[in-house]
Amino acid sequence: MRKVLGHPLSQAFALLVVVLAVFFVLQAVLAAAFRIGPENLTPALGLLLGLTGVVAALVTVPLARRMEGESLAGVGFPARNAVRHLLGGLALGGGIQAVVFGIMALAGWYTVSAVTVDVGSLATMTLLALSVAFWEEWAFRGVMLRLPEKAIGSWWALTLSAVVFGLVHAPNANATAMYLFGVSVTGVSVMGSAFLLTRSLWLPIGIHTGWNLIQSSVFGAGSTGAGGISETPLLRGHVSGPELWTGIPGVPESGLVLILVATAVGAVLLVMAARAGRIRPPRRKTAAATV
């Protein structure tokens, strides 16, 4: 049993189960206590629910360190360059969304009918986006990419983390096959590649935060991180175009515009990671090479 639990794959799935269990139990308790439902999901209540993911991560980070005998930096949270990576990620994630909506605007698929500045809503949604990014990047890159990579190498670990990331998003409203494909591909190509390049979760956390925040709270198109929250976006945006390209309403991740832009950015990050020698082979091959 000790040998099984000492394997990186076993550790990864065990930690993921704990993260999700804490997250869903706390969400259920808060939803019942405050009678939170789709009809009254304000930004403040959304943030309250989002913080349950932060708690789940904070519970399991020390557990991972104990299981692996690693430092905080060793499990993906180095202090060095943390702020630079976080801010750079915010810019990159927001930039990807700006390119996506710029393309759709040029094609006549995205229009704006009003501009509303609600500082309180924007500040709350920023904290929510950061909360969601923090726990999801820990769970799916810090756990389901970093640990399996030790045993099966970078490429297979990327594939595994993409599949698990997509499956966890399956219960979301309007989770079509194209949406799940888009979430899986964008998650692995951008956030996964960012982790491999830096060996730090701060860059993917920043990307994820900027991604959700700009998509939902600036362009007003909804996001997987905002759910059905009744926020006041900066732009009252309207997407109307072929769903194959723009995605289903409120879910740009299900459209080819976002998928292709994100894949291109991810490919650049992967090439940079490969050139920097950050791509790891499976452990079996590494061992064979040293004989």
Q: 151-167 b/e with 16+ CB inside 10 Å = b?
A: bbbbeebbbbbbebbbe
Residues 85-114, mean pLDDT to the nearest whole number: 96
- pLDDT at residue 107, rounded to an integer: 96
- pLDDT at residue 232, rounded to an integer: 83
CB-side neighbour CA atoms (13 Å) of 113: 7
Confidence of residue 22 (pLDDT cuts 50, 70, 90): very high
Q: Decide if pLDDT at 106 tops 60.
A: yes
Averaged confidence pLDDT in the chain: 90
Do residues 65 and 71 make contact, with C-beta atoms less than 8 angstroms apart? yes
Tokens at 147, concatenated? 């640990």
Cα radius of gyration (the chain): 19
* Alpha-carbon gap, residue 62 to 45, rounded angstroms: 27
Q: Amino acid identity, residue 32?
A: A
Residues 228-240, mean pLDDT to the nearest whole number: 84
- pLDDT at residue 4, rounded to an integer: 53
pTM of the model: 0.91
- pLDDT at residue 41, rounded to an integer: 85
Q: Decide if pLDDT at 290 tops 90.
A: no
- pLDDT at residue 186, rounded to an integer: 84
**Element at 274 (helix H, strand E):** helix 256-275
- Beta bridge partners of residue 239, listed in sequence order: 110
- pLDDT at residue 287, rounded to an integer: 42
pLDDT tens by residue, 155-165? 999 999 999 98
- pLDDT at residue 9, rounded to an integer: 92
* Alpha-carbon gap, residue 215 to 192, rounded angstroms: 20
Q: SS3 for 257?
A: helix
- Percentage of the chain exceeding pLDDT 90: 70
* Alpha-carbon gap, residue 194 to 212, rounded angstroms: 16
- pLDDT at residue 89, rounded to an integer: 97
pLDDT tens by residue, 146-199? 999 999 999 999 999 999 988 888 877 677 888 888 888 888 889 999 999 999
